[in-house]
A and B are shown apart, each in its own frame.
Chain A
Amino acid sequence: MGRSSTVKETQALFQSLRSAYAATPNNLKIIDVFVGFAVLTAIIQVVYMAVVGSFPFNSFLSGVLSCIGTAVLAVCLRIQVNKDNKEFKDVAPERAFADFILCNLVLHLVIMNFMG
């Protein structure tokens, strides 16, 4: 009996998650899709490394870290652009996006140097 109630609770949980998430505005959803894409790329690279071997290690490291870095920066952008965040209501979304671009520039400059 406990098991079916847990299953029902789980289903109710996923339903509420889905409905709550559907209420988020579109620009945030785009950022979320981008984050998911970056993480997926990172996972693909790790699987590839596990199959093929880790030489040259610096290329693998730069590839994985660039994906994770882009994901992290996109999450930061999402935090700053989200209108529900009280702490960031005086930060214009253009400013947040400009910071995001700058950080990405630095990140990818380093990646290109390190990839070898």
Chain B
Amino acid sequence: MASPESAVNGPTMTAGAASKSLRNAFGGVIAFIILVLIGVLAFSIRLFSVIKYESVIHEFDPYFNYRVTQFLSKNGIYDFWNWFDDRTWYPLGRVIGGTVYPGLTLTAGTIWKVVNSLNIPLSVETVCVFTAPIFSAFASWAAYLLTKEVKGPGAGLTAAALLAMVPSYISRSVAGSYDNEAVAIFALVFTFYLYIKTLNTGSLFYATLNALAYFYMVCSWGGYTFIINLIPMHVLLCIVTGRYSSRLYIAYAPLVVLGTLLASLVPVVGFNAVLTSEHFASFLVFIIIHVVALAYYIKGILSPKMFKVAVTLVVSAGLAVCCAVIAILIAVVASSPTKGWSGRSLTLLDPTYASKYIPIIASVSEHQPPTWPSYFMDINVLAFLVPAGIIACFMPLTDSSSFVILYIVTSVYFSGVMVRLMLVLAPAACILSGIALSEAFNVLTRSIKNRKKEKENVEKKPTPSKTEKRLLVLPLEASVIAVLLLVLLGAFYVVFSVQVHCVWAAAEAYSAPSIVLTSHSNDGGLHVFDDFREAYSWLSHNTDVDDKVASWWDYGYQTTAMANRTVLVDNNTWNNTHIATVGTAMSSPEKQAWEIFHSLDVKYVLVVFGGVVGYPSDDINKFLWMVRIGGGVFPHIKEPDYLRDGQYRIDAQATPTMLNCLMYKLSYFRSDFIPIHKTDGKGFDRVRRTEIGKKHFKLTHFEEVFTTHHWMVRIYKLKPQRNRIRGKTKKSKSSRSVSSKRDVRGKRNPWH
């Protein structure tokens, strides 16, 4: 809202200006109150999981971030940068300081430190759990600022309200989802806001702030490459459509230089900021904008005839030099096999790349393309408000609205490649829907105002009524009011349906911490499955501190964070060969698997099995990925060996390789399942819905040490090598009778 100008025209004007300034101030106060309420809404809608379950960290990745934050809070920042973690990726270890995006952990650590120095005794876990809702409130306010720069405060408030509620963003930022995106989305929207502000005002101060906000984004998330490619694309678009101005230069050039330097400061990016193809677009456009700026400058100081001469001269001489430089550049870039792009970026550009070359990236469920229903689930009503917003951005087309259009188009494409990137689409969709709704309200309220005015004045100047004439085509005056009321009701319905849907989505769909599961029993009671934490606490109480645990990489972060044991592979998935080794071991018969694990000093093997309670994300369902990844590195593992006629089965029709592999045996050992079901020893797998193929077998190289209450996590111990190798001994029979459900305290039995 424009600040009221002091009137010098006379007392009547002063009174009008004073009332206008009063109205402006009143509007400002209302806008502030609305913003505070939006912040409260954004915070509280994400608290369902804390209310329904408890204040616990969710999923897998947040456990790693939590562990890193604990380390940071205990040991300080210097030890954090120099930390070499030897409790993961045994025997390789992992350089944490150099491979983690520090933004999230540093933010939470700073909040914890500040709050504790004010003598508010919050634990690290509490700070970690509630970081995401707080930053989602900040993100809504940043969306308000951004949309205000594009269209005005009304659109800003609508966009902020929508972003506070949109389910896609809620899904990654509930209380307990302590992951990079919690902070990164705020940094993304804030950086875009500062860029647009610099573009609109041309102030170098905002350009500096823009670079610092970009630095915060680089610290927080690997998705910062989206910013450093989108902004050059927009600059190029402005240049090509003839909207070059010196404000564009001020907005872009300092950002590139400062941004590249700041990005190289972050250890995980380092020299990649200048060497990888993800950043080349920014350098290319940097050069282009300098050429264009020089051209405009020379055009400004020369006469038109001289300028034409200059152009012909430059074009003829410069073209040859340009071609030579480009040829050299292409040769340098094409000489590297991936053309300088990283694997994940290549997957974004060519969605089929990962499934052909890097099975690990293809196997992550978040990297799959989304289905159509997930669009309606995640952004709901906004899906059909976005096209209206795009049209509203064209009337009139400014630099900032062209940026928003480019943002929505690119994010729609990328969200179609990976379902995880629906999160980047959410702010864009909210901004455009806010613009659409606000423009609709503007048009209709203006038509009402002018209807009333037209009743009094017969004819005014023709030009203003030209724009209104389009509105006056609406049927009759009374029905204009009716249309407005309809739109209001429709808006309320939209808000309510969005509200109801969003609240439902937040409460039911996205609040599950996935480490604790619930189900409703027949009499309406709630049954809680806390098997994961049961298994991890068993591990931490009953094994030695230095024991190594092997499992599939999904559970690595949780095992190191909660059970505090060394693991072989975890969710970082940076070493494909190591994961393939574990996958091969799981796919091999018992003896070969024992040898592989023994060579890696593994003591315990952890397997997740859902067949007794019907938990669908267990290791048998993930087993084909283990085969594929293992087979990608070790050619003796072939996927067709595990499939009968191209079908994956575990019943009597399964292949012998499948029935003999370690994963099958460890999952279905003691396949009577008697305590839970009355299936009298038939071995019915509730997830696959068949009886299993091989029952009542014995394990020769592993022994079962723990199975959780609902049989969801099963822990096995590697049997030590036999002293006597030749012939069968009675020792194997006696060792089997010793093992029962809750047994073996982890100390070596000298009689084995």
Q: Which A residues have a C-beta under 8 Å from some C-beta of B?
A: 6, 9-10, 12-13, 16-17, 20-21, 23-24, 57-58, 61-62, 65, 68-69, 72-73, 75-77, 79-80, 84-85, 87-88, 91, 96, 99-100, 102-103, 106-107, 110-111, 113-114
Q: Are A113 and B257 in contact (CB under 8 A)?
A: no
Q: How distant is the Cα of A95 from the Cα of B271 in the complex, in angstroms?
A: 35
Given contacts A10-B313, A61-B271, A106-B211, contact A87 B261 (CB under 8 A): no
The distance from the CB of B348 to the nearest CB of chain A, in whole angstroms, is 27
Q: Are A9 and B204 in contact (CB under 8 A)?
A: no
Q: Are B254 and A76 in contact (CB under 8 A)?
A: yes
In the complex, whether B264 has a CB less than 8 A from a CB of chain A is yes
Which 9 residue pairs of A and B lie closest in terms of their CB atoms, listed nearest first? Answer: A99-B204, A20-B301, A69-B257, A72-B253, A79-B246, A103-B208, A16-B306, A99-B205, A9-B309
The distance from the CB of B398 to the nearest CB of chain A, in whole angstroms, is 14
Q: Are A16 and B261 in contact (CB under 8 A)?
A: no
Given contacts A13-B310, A110-B262, contact A21 B249 (CB under 8 A): no
Q: How distant is the Cα of A10 from the Cα of B314 in the complex, in angstroms?
A: 11
The distance from the CB of B49 to the nearest CB of chain A, in whole angstroms, is 39
Q: Are A72 and B265 in contact (CB under 8 A)?
A: no
Q: Are B302 and A17 in contact (CB under 8 A)?
A: yes
Per the CB 8 Å criterion, the residue count for chain B at the interface is: 34
Interface residues of B in 236-257 (CB under 8 A from A): 245-247, 249-250, 253-254, 257
Q: Are B264 and A58 in contact (CB under 8 A)?
A: yes
Given contacts A16-B303, A20-B301, A99-B203, contact A110 B310 (CB under 8 A): no
Q: Residue on B with the closest CB to A21?
A: B301
Q: Are A114 and B302 in contact (CB under 8 A)?
A: no
In the complex, whether B298 has a CB less than 8 A from a CB of chain A is yes
A13 touches which of B253, B254, B300, B313 (Cβ 8 Å) = B313
Q: How distant is the Cα of A96 from the Cα of B211 in the complex, in angstroms?
A: 18
Q: Are A69 and B261 in contact (CB under 8 A)?
A: yes
Residue of B245, B258, B260, B293 contacting most chain A CB atoms (<10 Å): B258
Q: How distant is the Cα of A5 from the Cα of B203 in the complex, in angstroms?
A: 45
Chain A residues with Cβ below 8 Å from B257 are 65, 68-69, 72, 107
In the complex, whether B387 has a CB less than 8 A from a CB of chain A is no
The distance from the CB of B5 to the nearest CB of chain A, in whole angstroms, is 14
Chain B residues with Cβ below 8 Å from A99 are 203-205, 208
The distance from the CB of A100 to the nearest CB of chain B, in whole angstroms, is 6
Q: Are B261 and A107 in contact (CB under 8 A)?
A: yes
In the complex, whether B212 has a CB less than 8 A from a CB of chain A is yes
Q: How distant is the Cα of A57 from the Cα of B274 in the complex, in angstroms?
A: 11
Chain A residues with Cβ below 8 Å from B258 are 69, 103, 106-107, 110
The distance from the CB of A93 to the nearest CB of chain B, in whole angstroms, is 12
Q: Are A103 and B274 in contact (CB under 8 A)?
A: no
Question: Can you identify 23 A-B contacts, CB atoms within 8 angstroms?
Answer: A9-B309, A10-B313, A17-B298, A17-B302, A20-B301, A21-B301, A69-B258, A72-B254, A75-B253, A76-B204, A79-B246, A80-B202, A84-B300, A88-B202, A99-B204, A102-B205, A103-B204, A106-B208, A106-B211, A107-B261, A110-B258, A111-B261, A114-B261
The distance from the CB of B309 to the nearest CB of chain A, in whole angstroms, is 5
